[in-house]
């Protein structure tokens, strides 16, 4: 018997991996070996393109297996089953991409050594785009290049083939591939530093926005959608609360300026089974709005902070509350998103802290107009180090077109009020440079907002709102006027309750120590009398 071939270290490590996290780490290390032979700007597309190809292939094979089983149970002959298995409508009707035979992962893995892995991958990407109109121009064809290390590329393909995406708990293989995609996006953002912020928002921040807005159904819009994280988190929220079959209760609309990031977003939505409208191509939201007539139920966004060079037109009808300054687009983003809200729409937006208090170039007047129009529902001050990609302190703006009870929804009437939440002391450090919100942090902030607004989820859980010194405060518009229309939560929430409790405890401690001191004084006086008496007896 010939000796068994030794597997490469990465593969041996992969076979011993038992969790999705371990698989992700191994694949990341293997992919990182290719970094030097690929243009840095293309590296994300290169690796994520491979994961996407594995996803569509797995989804296709899974549907093929299901279909064969269904047909056999219906008594269809083997010959007829073969015909049905090649019927594209049986796949596209189940929201599965049609994958030609030579683009299927199993075929590529089997023929890679003989025909060249880079060549087969490029041909597979081309074939899938040709057969699926929604992916036209999306997938990368950058694998068959002289500068790409074909040996290491082949090893990476083998690793992805061998990864046990199935059999990891109760999660389907497609879900695990989706997690791998998100994991890689996060790692790319960390590796690229500031530039990584262009396509990635920390997941705990996205979750907070989604948990507060509760986008169960309707139109969801992100005008600076990056890699699509807001949409993915919204779909996960619906799955968690209403089940997997309700993902289609939302319609997704987005726009992205960067061509490569737009492609990543299209792949990200597809890999998570989200049918989104990200327009036929990328474009500048200010200069070329791809959804001009959209009125959304929810807007969720993390637009780039403090843009100094943007497509500003002073006559733009979106500037209903004042023309934004040309050296900062923060208030252009806010007004663009307000223009996209439907009659009862709500928005959650990440912006730089300066947006809450700036008086420069007319921003104070615009903020005053937004407050007086009763559009601001809630302001959340975020802790530092949530964003590894930028050191600029950030906050969350929550806007609402209608703060009334809204009839059958029976919300609390919050017209003329703004909720302020100071979350700067929350979150936990996962390493020296990055902080994340824990699940309990997210619940505390979201529950506070829901209790204040009187949502159905708050009523179900019996939540009621009350101001908590140092954490939250519901202010009327008069209070905002007194503060010069500055929206920094720290100005409103007051002293931390814990500090007040500490002061009270300190007062009690001082009182107790004083009593003990007086007792000691009394004992000292008695002792002094005794000593004097005894000294007198001996004639001293």
Mean pLDDT of the chain: 86
CATH of the domain at 345: 3.40.50.150
71-83 mean pLDDT: 83
Q: Is 315 helix (H, G, I), strand (E, B) or coil?
A: coil
Query: CB–CB of 523/405 below 8 Å?
Result: no
Q: Is residue 1 part of a domain?
A: no
Judge if 427 and 537 occupy the same domain.
Answer: no
Q: Is residue 537 part of a domain?
A: yes
Domain end, chosen from 130, 163, 190, is at 190
Judge if 79 and 129 occupy the same domain.
Answer: yes
Condensed to tens digits (0 to 9), the pLDDT of residues 341-390 reads 999 999 999 999 999 999 989 999 999 999 999 999 999 999 988 887 67
Q: How confident is the model at residue 193 (pLDDT cuts 50, 70, 90)?
A: low
Judge if 100 and 39 occupy the same domain.
Answer: yes
Residue 421 has what pLDDT? Answer: 98
Judge if 154 and 295 occupy the same domain.
Answer: no
What gap in Å lies between CA 246 and CA 236, rounded to an integer? 10
Q: Is residue 522 part of a domain?
A: yes
Residue 176 has what pLDDT? Answer: 76
Residue 463 has what pLDDT? Answer: 96
pTM: predicted TM-score of the whole model, two decimal places: 0.82
Q: Is residue 501 part of a domain?
A: no
Judge if 18 and 107 occupy the same domain.
Answer: yes
Residue 13 has what pLDDT? Answer: 60
Domain end, chosen from 153, 172, 190, is at 190
Determine the structural domain holding residue 514 and report its residue range: 508-540
Judge if 151 and 59 occupy the same domain.
Answer: yes
What gap in Å lies between CA 515 and CA 468, rounded to an integer? 34
Domain end, chosen from 123, 156, 190, is at 190
Q: Tokens standing for 307?
A: 């843009």
Condensed to tens digits (0 to 9), the pLDDT of residues 45-74 reads 888 898 899 889 988 988 898 898 888 888
Q: Is 338 helix (H, G, I), strand (E, B) or coil?
A: helix
Judge if 344 and 238 occupy the same domain.
Answer: yes
Query: Please, what sign has the CA dihedral across residues 469, 475, 479, 484?
Result: positive
Report the percentage of the chain scoring pLDDT > 90: 53
Q: Exposed, middle or buried, 357 (CB in 10 Å: 0-12/13-18/19+)?
A: middle
- Alpha helical stretches, state H, 259-327: 259-271
Judge if 185 and 300 occupy the same domain.
Answer: no
Residue 502 has what pLDDT? Answer: 46
Judge if 368 and 440 occupy the same domain.
Answer: yes
304-332 mean pLDDT: 94
Q: What is the number of domains present in the chain?
A: 3
- The DSSP secondary-structure symbol of 245 reads G
Judge if 366 and 471 occupy the same domain.
Answer: yes
What gap in Å lies between CA 387 and CA 193, rounded to an integer? 10
Judge if 383 and 518 occupy the same domain.
Answer: no
Q: Is 436 helix (H, G, I), strand (E, B) or coil?
A: strand
Q: Dmax of the chain from CA atoms?
A: 129
Q: Is residue 500 part of a domain?
A: no
Judge if 287 and 413 occupy the same domain.
Answer: yes
What gap in Å lies between CA 57 and CA 208, rounded to an integer? 33
CATH of the domain at 114: 1.20.1260.30
Q: Is residue 415 part of a domain?
A: yes
């Amino acid at each position: 018997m010939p000796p068994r071939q030794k597997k490469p270290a990465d593969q041996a490590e992969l076979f011993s991996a038992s969790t999705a996290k371990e698989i992700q780490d191994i694949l990341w290390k293997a992919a990182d070996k290719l970094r030097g032979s690929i243009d840095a700007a293309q590296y994300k597309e290169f690796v994520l393109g491979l994961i996407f190809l594995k996803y569509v292939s797995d989804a296709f094979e899974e549907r093929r297996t299901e279909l064969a089983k269904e047909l056999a149970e219906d008594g269809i002959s083997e010959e007829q089953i073969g015909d049905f298995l090649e019927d594209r409508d049986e796949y596209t009707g189940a929201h599965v991409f049609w994958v030609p035979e030579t683009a299927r992962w199993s075929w590529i893995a089997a023929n890679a050594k003989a025909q060249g892995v880079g060549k087969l991958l490029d041909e597979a990407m081309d074939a899938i785009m040709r057969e699926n109109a929604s992916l036209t121009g999306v997938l990368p064809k950058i694998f068959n290049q002289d500068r790409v290390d074909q040996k290491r590329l082949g090893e990476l393909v083998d690793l992805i083939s061998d990864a046990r995406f199935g059999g990891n708990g109760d999660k389907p293989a497609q879900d695990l591939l989706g997690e791998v995609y998100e994991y890689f996006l996060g790692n790319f953002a960390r590796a690229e530093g500031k530039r990584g912020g262009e396509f990635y928002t920390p997941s705990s921040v996205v979750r907070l926005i989604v948990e507060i807005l509760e986008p169960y159904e309707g139109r969801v819009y992100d005008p600076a959608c990056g890699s699509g994280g807001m949409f993915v988190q919204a779909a996960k929220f619906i799955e968690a609360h209403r089940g997997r079959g309700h993902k289609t209760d939302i319609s997704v609309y987005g726009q992205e300026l960067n061509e490569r990031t737009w492609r990543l977003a299209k792949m990200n939505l597809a890999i998570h089974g989200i049918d989104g409208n990200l327009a036929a191509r990328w474009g500048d939201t200010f200069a070329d709005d791809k959804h001009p007539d959209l009125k959304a139920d929810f807007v969720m966004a993390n637009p780039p902070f403090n843009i100094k060079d943007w497509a500003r037109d002073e006559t733009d009808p979106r500037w209903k509350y004042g023309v934004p300054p040309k050296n900062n687009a923060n208030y252009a983003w806010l007004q663009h998103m307000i223009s996209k809200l439907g009659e009862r729409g709500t928005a959650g937006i990440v912006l730089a802290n300066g947006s809450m208090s700036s008086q420069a170039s007319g921003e104070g007047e615009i903020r005053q107009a937004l407050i007086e129009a009763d559009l601001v529902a809630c302001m959340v001050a975020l802790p530092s180090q949530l964003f590894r990609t930028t050191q600029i302190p950030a906050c969350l703006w929550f806007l609402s077109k209608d703060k009334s009870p809204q009839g059958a929804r029976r919300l609390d009437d919050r017209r003329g009020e703004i909720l302020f939440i100071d979350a700067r002391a929350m979150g936990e450090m996962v390493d020296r440079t990055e902080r994340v919100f824990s699940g309990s942090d997210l619940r505390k902030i979201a529950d506070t907002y829901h209790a204040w607004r009187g949502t159905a989820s708050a009523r179900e859980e019996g939540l009621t709102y009350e101001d908590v010194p140092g954490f939250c405060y519901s202010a009327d518009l008069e209070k905002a006027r007194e503060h010069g229309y500055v929206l920094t939560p720290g100005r409103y929430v007051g002293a931390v309750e814990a500090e007040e409790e500490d002061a009270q405890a300190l007062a009690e401690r001082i009182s107790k120590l004083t009593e003990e001191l007086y007792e000691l004084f009394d004992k000292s006086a008695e002792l002094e009398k005794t000593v004097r008496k005894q000294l007198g007896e001996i004639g001293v």
